[in-house]
Amino acid sequence: MAVKELPVLTNYDISPVTGFLPTDEPLQLLSDPYFQPWEDTFNSFNGLLLASRLRQRVQELPVLDASRLKTKAEQRRGYLILCMLSHAYVWGKHEVAAESLPASLAVPWQKVADMLEMQPVLTHAAVVLWNWRLLYKDGPRDLSNLDTLATLSGSSDESWFYLVTTAIEATGAPVLSKILSAMQLVRDADQTGLIQELEAIRGIIMDLVAVLRRMFERCDPYVFYWKVRPYLAGWENMTEAGLPNGVRYEGVDNGQYKRLAGGSAAQSSLIHVLDIAFGVEHHPTGFRPNKSHGAHTNAAHVNGHTSNSYNDAAPKAQGLAPSTTEAAATAPAPALGSGSTNFIQKMRFYMPGPHRNFLTHLTDVANIRPYVLSQAAAFEKGSRPAEVEELITVYDECVHQIKVFRDVHIQMVTLYIVMQANRGPSISHGGFVSPSHAHAPKKAEANGTAEKTAPVANGADETSASLASAKKGSSILYPQKVIFGAPYGLAKKQEEGVVRGTGGTDLIPFLRQSRDETNDSKIVPTSSIGTRKSSFAA
């Protein structure tokens, strides 16, 4: 069988230097005067939203032809504008959620989404990949030199939330070439070179963790939960928000409703690359197979050849069809807790088409984990050559750092979402809640959650302790939007114990399972990794 070539980054709109971020800064203006109505509305939409006049302005907009956006940069700018305006329109401020999106937004949004091979809903690509500028043109792409182009709330906290993620994408960019190099070294059977590349990859992942931890510096949990997060949600699994059918896009697909997930960190192609490279397998939440460490992926793809014994179903489970046909876009999404498509894999549906296609190609040629497994199995434990032991160690250290990344994310979700949901707003009305919810903060404080902030942890035990510090069982998706028992924005009261993400998933069980599935990919179980001589920091 012929060996499939490794993917070339530039063939998939990916830069070896900037990764999934565009090489050039995103446009700050559509220069064609034809699109001035969009730019004018975009420039003032925070004020219009605050004054409850955004919907009126949108209804006055003409239906512009998005096909006049000729370059990728123009299309990305148009997509960002339409994402921001549309989510502000649907969720409003002190307004009932709108289940119908006017043609002035819906028609061009669908068109530009098709051009980018994406979906017409706010995505990670819109607010993270294409929503930044450099403060100094000759400066680095890091948090010392980045600013956002737009926010939904107008707050610096929201800017920091996006920019930390943009900085993660920039920091992780070099890992893409390193992973492809490691795959080539597997094909060349160059174990020494592979160890060196894995050591470099481990260092980059550790840098990603360090950047993620900076979220706590300048993004206030209260502001994020009560002022920012509501606008990031999509319209899938949003019955409690008064959108049981999703949102109807006027002038698109005969006005059919679309049920689409909102922006999610799971839409980051960078994180998917790490999962693919290290053989992390994800499953529908609650349906995780009981598999032993190091045994759930057979050795194959070692030299670019695919063995029938190597999880033949994996490509189907790990990739979604790249089609963005109207039928696919309007069809109800699969239930998150059933079927063969899990939430993480479904999020590829919301990535730019070239990035999604890259992940499919990478999955087809992934060979690092099978190679390490084959080396581990070739020798009896205790008799392995030192170089093989070193290979296994550095591989497991890479996987461990991905797990640490997910641990920190769980800590963040606990502080920024779970604890905020249980505490309630700092003032009784908050502009959002009914008087019946006015005493929620006092109740939370009585339970000791108001002043307790869990430290960032590196393991499952610390994460569980953090979750335990929050009042168990939040019963409201977005309590800030419950007004006199009627849907007033994002949600009504829902089943006990469920806190949903902006993508619509049952958040904490999903994140915990993703973390545990990452840990399962270690060759040596966690219980013994801490006793091995290692240079990595947890």
Mean pLDDT over each residue of the chain, to the nearest integer: 81
446, with CB counted inside 10 A (0-12, 13-18, 19+), is exposed
Look at residues 4, 48, 2 and name the one whose alpha carbon lies nearest to residue 363. Answer: 4
3-class secondary-structure state, position 296: coil
> pTM value?
0.81
How high is the pLDDT of residue 223? Answer: 96
pLDDT band at 495 (very low <50, low <70, confident <90, very high): very low
Confidence check: pLDDT of 117 > 80: yes
Q: What's the chain's Rg over C-alpha atoms? A: 23
The 10s digit of each residue's pLDDT in 15-57 is: 999 999 999 999 999 999 999 999 999 999 999 999 999 999 9
Q: How far apart are CA 527 and CA 460, in angstroms?
A: 12
Give the CA dihedral 164, 165, 170, 171, nearest 10 degrees. 70
At 353, the amino acid letter reads: G
Answer yes or no: are the C-beta atoms of 395 and 372 closer than 8 Å: yes
Q: How far apart are CA 403 and CA 347, in angstroms?
A: 19
Confidence check: pLDDT of 317 > 50: no
How high is the pLDDT of residue 131? Answer: 98
Distance of CA 235 to the CA centre of its chain: 16
Confidence check: pLDDT of 287 > 50: yes
Confidence check: pLDDT of 519 > 90: yes
How high is the pLDDT of residue 498? Answer: 67
254, with CB counted inside 10 A (0-12, 13-18, 19+), is exposed
How high is the pLDDT of residue 426? Answer: 66
How high is the pLDDT of residue 503? Answer: 63
At 481, the amino acid letter reads: K
Confidence check: pLDDT of 533 > 80: no
How high is the pLDDT of residue 290? Answer: 67
Which token pair is 373?
């497994």
3-class secondary-structure state, position 275: helix
Which token pair is 501?
């993400």
163, with CB counted inside 10 A (0-12, 13-18, 19+), is buried
434, with CB counted inside 10 A (0-12, 13-18, 19+), is middle
How high is the pLDDT of residue 453? Answer: 34
The 10s digit of each residue's pLDDT in 395-446 is: 999 999 999 999 999 999 999 999 998 887 765 434 433 333 333 333 333 3
How high is the pLDDT of residue 423? Answer: 87
Q: How many CA atoms lie within 13 A of 59 on its CB side?
A: 7
Confidence check: pLDDT of 324 > 70: no
Look at residues 234, 243, 233 and name the one whose alpha carbon lies nearest to residue 329. Answer: 234
pLDDT band at 216 (very low <50, low <70, confident <90, very high): very high
How high is the pLDDT of residue 451? Answer: 34
How high is the pLDDT of residue 318? Answer: 30
How high is the pLDDT of residue 441? Answer: 37
How high is the pLDDT of residue 446? Answer: 36
Q: How many CA atoms lie within 13 A of 532 on its CB side?
A: 20
Q: How far apart are CA 287 and CA 10, in angstroms?
A: 37
How high is the pLDDT of residue 291? Answer: 56
Q: Which single residue is written with the structure tokens 């971020």?
A: 21
Please state the φ and ψ torsions of residue 363, each to the nearest 5 degrees.
Answer: -60, -40
Lowest mean pLDDT among 49-63, 74-88, 281-295, 493-507: 493-507
* Residues above pLDDT 90, as percent of the chain: 68
pLDDT band at 530 (very low <50, low <70, confident <90, very high): very low
Answer yes or no: are the C-beta atoms of 91 and 54 closer than 8 Å: no
Q: Which single residue is written with the structure tokens 């979700």?
A: 413
Distance of CA 228 to the CA centre of its chain: 16
How high is the pLDDT of residue 94? Answer: 85
Q: Give me the mean pLDDT over the 90-102 stretch.
A: 95
Q: Give me the mean pLDDT over the 357-379 stretch.
A: 97
Lowest mean pLDDT among 14-28, 79-93, 300-314: 300-314
Q: Give me the mean pLDDT over the 290-298 stretch.
A: 47
Lowest mean pLDDT among 137-151, 296-310, 491-505: 296-310
Of residues 345 and 456, more confidence is placed in 345
